[in-house]
Each structure stands twice: as structure tokens, then as C-alpha cells.
Chains A and B, each alone.
Chain A
Amino acid sequence: MESLNALFSLGFATALTPANLLWALLGCTLGTAIGVLPGIGPAVTVALLLPVTQSVDPTGALIMLAGVYYGAMFGGSTTSILLNTPGEAGSIVSALEGNKMAKAGRAGPALSTAAIGSFIAGSIATVLLTLLAPIIAGFALQLGPVETFSLMMMTFAAVSAVLGNSPLKGFIALMLGLAIGLIGIEPQSGQSRFTFGLMPLIDGIDIVVIAMGLFAVGETLYTATYENKMKAGLETLTGRFWMTKEDWKRSWKPWLRGTAIGFPFGTLPAGGTEMPTFLSYSAERKLASPEAQKEFGKGAIEGVAGPEAANNAAVTGTLVPLLTLGIPTSATAAIMLSAFQQYNIVPGPLLFDTNPELVWGLIASLYIGNVMLLVLNLPLVGLWVQFLKVPRPLLYGGILLLATMGAYALRQSWFDLMLLYIIGVLGFLMRRYDFPVVPLIVGLIVGPMAEKHFRRAMSIHQGDLTVFLTHPISLAILVVTAAILIVPPLMKRRQKMLQAA
């Protein structure tokens, strides 16, 4: 309750001044804009904005930077859904069902459920941040490489459900993702793998290049090759922008579940926004009603609502270790940390005591930023949807341009452009021969992380494999993992036996 007092007496009093409201608005608008542009992530934007810290007071500047961070997650989903060009790793999953919905003329509800889900997740996560930050931060530290590796095994188990219609093809895609993930320097030993002596490959291939290649470029090639020959006007736009009663009914549970998955992941030192979106997506796919389950892969609203809530909750979650321990767990959080340093403010254990107005002002502004983003984004849905009325050749031309610009913006390298198109051709072939893309992305993102944590755990515990079973939290996670793998087939069998009886 002490924290609630501080929030209202210090936080809202600070955040609700006209100047700070304006900073929040500016940050949210800017964040949404850069989220919409693929390739320009929140990290780069916050870095470019760092110089404002020289002329603006700390509270105002940090409120604005937090708005950028939040807004980018909101905006990132827009291009994912409309154009199949995920600009941030956290919105890759939204492209899966979201873009299918858009193609079925349901872009409006997809964008709305993303915006409202993000709002709800962001709000709940901010409440959790307010009340529990110090406790959660302490707990998250107990999760070392052993527990993190077990968590990743759980993610693998959970997403194996999304391997597609043919488990073999899904498995091949997963292996391909794992293989591409191996490219680059292996951090433990400093050896480079599969770089063929090419310097630009030393840090591996940026996930955004791969996502945009597979989705945007692959899709464009596919459409140009096949769909052009079909009758035009498949994507007739039904006039509905708004969610129906049915959409609401199908969205609210995924929103809450997404929040519950996303927030804890954000607080983990090795968390990030991608893993919770995968977990949320596979959870929704498993938990959806039988009719909705059939829609998965063709545009199920649950598959947008859950992951979008998860990524926003995770973003708020990353503020927990940043504010309470001074530990940045994402690139954007790392740059926010240097913004703090510009003011001689050191985030960490002492921050709540030394700069209470700043911390509570920032937290209060997160509440305000959430409302602002919803107000900003919902009316825009109508406008965004108009994009799909653009004639298809122009639309796909535009998508290709955006993807190319985005890949180049990452590090101004022609090499990345070349990769983008090579991966685009791969994406085209995968679609042509009906290989699912999700397992590839999962293997690519989770694979290298799992390897890193496995090797770290082995190094710390001197090669003792039993640590995964002797650490209680790890054991619990592995039990859940086993349950994910074993229970559904058993249930099916039982059902069959009951039906037979």
C-alpha cells in the first residue's frame, strides 16, 4: 500500500503536469510511427533521442523515451498484420494469424484486438510493476542458466504443436531454423561457425532480416508467381473496422493469458519479447474452442490477441530489473539506462530511495501512456485498413520497398540486402512446397539462446547434467514440459476409449 501512496502522491502529481503529458504524447506518437516502419527499432530511436536529455528535465525525457518504447510495440503490430512485414522480433507471431485475417477482410478486428490487448496487457503489467517490482526482481535473479534452459525446452515442447499439418515438414523447418541460428561466433569459445570467412556473418543473421525475407519478400514472390493468375479481388474488404461481439468473446481470455505469460518473461534476465509470444500463440492454439482451432492458420483472432498482449506485457516487465537492479535485459532498456546515466541517476537498488518522483512519475506515465496509445491507435485503425484497398501490384511493390529499406536500415549493409532476397526465395520455396514458417523462426530465435544457456549451465556446474533435475524450479518446469508432451495424446486415447465403450 505504501507503493500506492507513492504512486498517487508523487507519481501522478509528476506525470500529470501539462509539460510531461506533452512529452508522453510525443513519445507515444513517435514510437507508433517507428514501430510502423520496419527495421527502425525502438533501440535506435531511443539512441537518436538521447541528445534531448541535455535540454529536457530527467522526468520529462524518460517519460518520452518510455512512450517510444511502448509505442513501438503498438505500431509494430500494424505492419505485421496489414503488410506481413514484422519490423520487431516481438511482432513476428502477430503476422501469422493477423495477416491472414487482413486478407480475409478482417484487418479492422485484427488491429483492434491487437491495440486493446496491448492496452490491457500494458495496464495490468504496470499495476504488477507498481506493486511487486522489488519482489519479482529478487525472484527473477534466482533463475540462472539451468532454469532458463529448462524454460526454453518448455518453449520448444509447446511450439512443437505448431509444427503444421505435416510433422515431418515442421521438423525440417525447425532444423533449418536451428542451423541458420548457428551462424556466427559461438560466445563460449569465440569460434565462428558457418561464416565461410565472411565478416558480416560473424554476428549471425539479424532476425528482422530473416522475418522480413520469409514473410514480406517470400509472400511477394509467391503472389507475383501464383495469385496473380487467379481471379483478382479475393481480398474484398468487408466494411467492418470494429470487433464484433464474437470477437470480444474470443479475445478477452487470450489477452489475460498473454499478459500472464509475457510479464514474467520480461522480468527475466534472459527473457525478451519473442519467447512469450511463441508460448502465447501455442497456448491459444491449444486452448481455443474446436471451431476456432480450425481457423488457426487461416486467421484466428486468438492468435493475434494473445501474442500482442504478451509482447506488451513483456516490455513493461523489462522495466522491473532495469528500475530495481539497474540491469537492462533488452537493447532498448540498455539505452534507457544510458539516458538515466546522462543525468547522473543510477538505476538500481537505490533508485526508489534517491529519486522517488522520477520512478513513480515514470510508472504513472506508463498508465497515462497506455491510455494515450489506445486513443491514438484505435481511430487510426480505420485509416490503416484503407491501405488494403491499394491495388495489389502497388501494395506488394510498397511492401518490397519497405522490407528493403528496413533491412538496409539495420546496419546500412548491402550484404543484409542480399541476404534478405536469398531468404525471400527460401520463403517462397517453403510456401510453394507447404513448409510451415513458424518452426523455422522458433528454432532460429530459441535455438541459439538454449545453446548458450545450456553451455553456461554446464560450465558453471562442471558438466553435471543432473543439475536440471536437482534444481527445484528447473525440475518443476521440466515436469510441466513433460506434461505438455504426454498429456494431450493420452487424453485423446482416453476419449477414443470412452467413445468406443
Chain B
Amino acid sequence: MKLKTLLVSCLVALAPMAAQAQVEQFKIMAPANPGGGFDTIARTLGEALQASGQVKSVVVENKAGAGGAIGMAQFVNNEKGNPNALLVAGAVTVGALETNKSPVNFGMVTPISRLMGEFNVIVVPTASPYKSIKDLMAAYKANPGAVSIGGGSAGGIDHIMASLMSEKAGVDPDKLNYIPFAGGGEGKAAVLGNQIAAYISGYGELADLIKAGKVRALGISAATRNPDIPVPTIREQGTDVVVYNWRGVFAPPGINAAQKAQLIKMVETAAKSPTWKAKAEKFEWLDMLQSGDSFQTFLNEDIKRTAVTVKKLKLGN
């Protein structure tokens, strides 16, 4: 039944494309290990490109390391001028490149589209005395060191969110007691086991624990409340912080304007396909599709903002 609907929708999507040549082989670089966020985006986009009949076969290449910098370096070197290759990157990469003083940067790739976003949520153990963002911030103000806040790797979006909250509380982010966890599993265990005061992660990753009542969600980093998410925003609780994690795709350097336009068209078609939409709904991704010049503007701002935060936190070399 599901397959049928899928096939029908593929045909519908295919119809306007009929005149256009299909790409034989397409390459997507996921600069992370299989199973993570970058990998999921790469594989989902690959499926969507195929299902919408735009490409015949897709190869997803995994190249983990240094928050995506290693994969990006290889992509820049090997795919120069290739109009049939994309690299997945996102807010995590921006933070990692800034922190590691990497020899590669976003100026070396061609921004195509931002595909999705995800809000962060800040949770506390069920045994925690903090019932709201106000409680948490009051305790933090009184003694910043005593409120340990866990999250993803240092300099990443979770760390940036914590430091922005610190700033709003009028405390130098330098005083922040941030505990980075790689891979999510250990971090979840730490908040479940009441080892840390609070934990920040993508909403999708913590939704199950929140629904099961195993952790208490204090606030979500969105601008306004979402009817599907039973968590108040951080902003409405008096701490004006709006942050989201994003992921998008980039083309190799050295492609011409026509090739870039073509890639944008392909990616946008894929991101509007039922294949993509189904996955997005499953993972509670936000639709943040944005391409070309507006994506470039957004990217520049994000890099600038991250650089300031990383400097303030005295991260990196």
C-alpha cells in the first residue's frame, strides 16, 4: 500500500522532469560515521533524488573526523569541478572549523541549500530542584560553577546555546561549566543518572525520554511554541535565546553558475518529495529549505556569530 502511494507520487514528481536528462551516478559525502545526523541526511537525500527520478544511482561516502573537517577537505580536493557531487555540512561543522582552526573553510565549497533545522531542548533530571528556566537561571547566576551543563562537542551548537543563555543571565560565558559528550549516549546517561545539572540536545534525540517522563524538559530553543511539542520556549520564560541546529548541502568548488542552478533545482525537488517529507516527519525535522544567495547570507551570519562565541569561550588554539 505504502509502496504504491510512493510509486504514484514518484510518477507525479517525474512528469515535469521527463524532458530533463537523468544523472547516471551521484555522489554524496557524509563527513561522519554511518548512523549519525550527517549520514541520515546524506542517505535520505540520496533516496529522495532517486525516488524523484533525477539520478539513477547514489553513492554515499562516509568520512568521519574533526566534526566534518576531514570529509570536507577530501571533498574539496577530490571533487573539484564535479557537478554531480554534494557534501553534507551544518551548524556542527561551522563550530568545528572555527574551533580547530581548520585548513578548509566554507569559502572553498559552493553553498547549495539548507535542508532542515532542529530546535534544541534543555532538560534536567527528574530529581532536579529546577522546575523552569527561571529556577535554572537563578541558580546559575548565584553560582555558575555549580550548575554543570552537558551537551554535544565543545564549540558546537549546544555549547553555543549554553553560552548565549549565560550571557543573557549576565554571567561571563567563560564561567560556564560545560561538559561535552560525544555521541549522545553518554550524555543521556549522565542526565538520567542525575550526574549533571542540565543537558542540551536536539529535540528529536530527547523526545522519547521527555514523553516517558524520564527527564524534565525546561525549555525549547524556538521563537514560538510548537503545538506538537509539549515544551514551553526558553524565550517565553524570560531568557531571550533562539537557537537551532541546521544541516544543508554544498557543491564542490569550481562549478559554473548553470551547474549550481541545476543542483539547486535538483535538491529542492528532492526536498519537496514525499520521500523526504516522510523522513522529516519521522525525525521531527523543521522545514528550513533555503537555497542559493539567501543560504549564502545565512551561512555568513552563522559563521560570524559562531566565531564570536568560540572566541568568547576561549576555545580552540
Q: Give 14 A-B contacts (CB < 8 Å), ordered by A residue.
A: A141-B189, A191-B317, A192-B317, A269-B189, A269-B193, A325-B192, A327-B185, A328-B184, A334-B183, A338-B40, A344-B282, A346-B208, A349-B209, A459-B148
Q: Which residues of A contact B189 (CB under 8 A)?
A: 140-141, 269, 321, 325, 327, 329
Q: Which residues of B contact A203 (CB under 8 A)?
A: 64-66, 70
Whole-angstrom CA separation of A48 from B43 in the bound complex: 11
A470 within 8 A of B: no
* Chain B interface residues toward A at CB < 8 A: 33-36, 39-40, 43, 62-66, 69-70, 73, 99-100, 102-103, 145-146, 148, 153-155, 177, 179-180, 182-186, 188-190, 192-193, 195-196, 207-209, 211-212, 214, 282-283, 315-317
Which are the 3 A-B pairs with shortest beta-carbon distances?
A: A47-B34, A141-B193, A269-B189
Whole-angstrom CA separation of A433 from B39 in the bound complex: 45
Q: Which residues of B contact A50 (CB under 8 A)?
A: 34-35, 43
Whole-angstrom CA separation of A189 from B99 in the bound complex: 10
A456 within 8 A of B: yes
Instruction: Count residues of chain A with CB under 8 A from any CB of chain B.
Output: 49
Contact A462 B177 (CB under 8 A): yes
* Contact flag A202-B69 (CB < 8 Å), given A43-B34, A326-B208, A411-B64: yes
Q: Which residues of B contact A338 (CB under 8 A)?
A: 35, 40
A window 197-219: CB within 8 A of B: 199-200, 202-203
Contact A326 B209 (CB under 8 A): yes
A13 within 8 A of B: no
Contact B180 A187 (CB under 8 A): yes
A460 within 8 A of B: yes
Whole-angstrom CA separation of A462 from B211 in the bound complex: 32
Contact B190 A144 (CB under 8 A): yes
The residue of chain A having its C-beta at the shortest distance from the C-beta of B35 within the complex is A335
Q: Which of B36, B62, B73, B188 is within 8 Å of A199, CB to CB?
A: B73
The residue of chain B having its C-beta at the shortest distance from the C-beta of A143 within the complex is B193
A25 within 8 A of B: no
Q: Which of A43, A269, A350, A459 is within 8 Å of B185, CB to CB?
A: A269
Whole-angstrom CA separation of A47 from B283 in the bound complex: 18
Q: Which residues of A contact B73 (CB under 8 A)?
A: 199
* Contact flag A334-B185 (CB < 8 Å), given A189-B315, A190-B154: yes
Q: Which of A47, A199, A335, A459 has the most CB of B within 10 A?
A: A199
Q: Which residues of A contact B64 (CB under 8 A)?
A: 203, 411
A190-B153, A192-B100, A338-B35 known, 14 other contacts, Cβ within 8 Å: A145-B195, A187-B182, A190-B316, A199-B102, A327-B185, A328-B183, A331-B33, A334-B35, A335-B35, A341-B282, A344-B282, A349-B209, A350-B211, A462-B146
Contact with B along A335-350 (1 / 0, CB 8 A): 1011001001010111
Whole-angstrom CA separation of A456 from B188 in the bound complex: 15
Contact A350 B212 (CB under 8 A): yes
Q: Which residues of A contact B100 (CB under 8 A)?
A: 185, 190, 192, 202
CB distance from A275 to the nearest CB of B (A): 15
Contact B155 A190 (CB under 8 A): yes
* Contact flag A188-B185 (CB < 8 Å), given A348-B209, A459-B148, A460-B195: no
CB distance from A57 to the nearest CB of B (A): 13
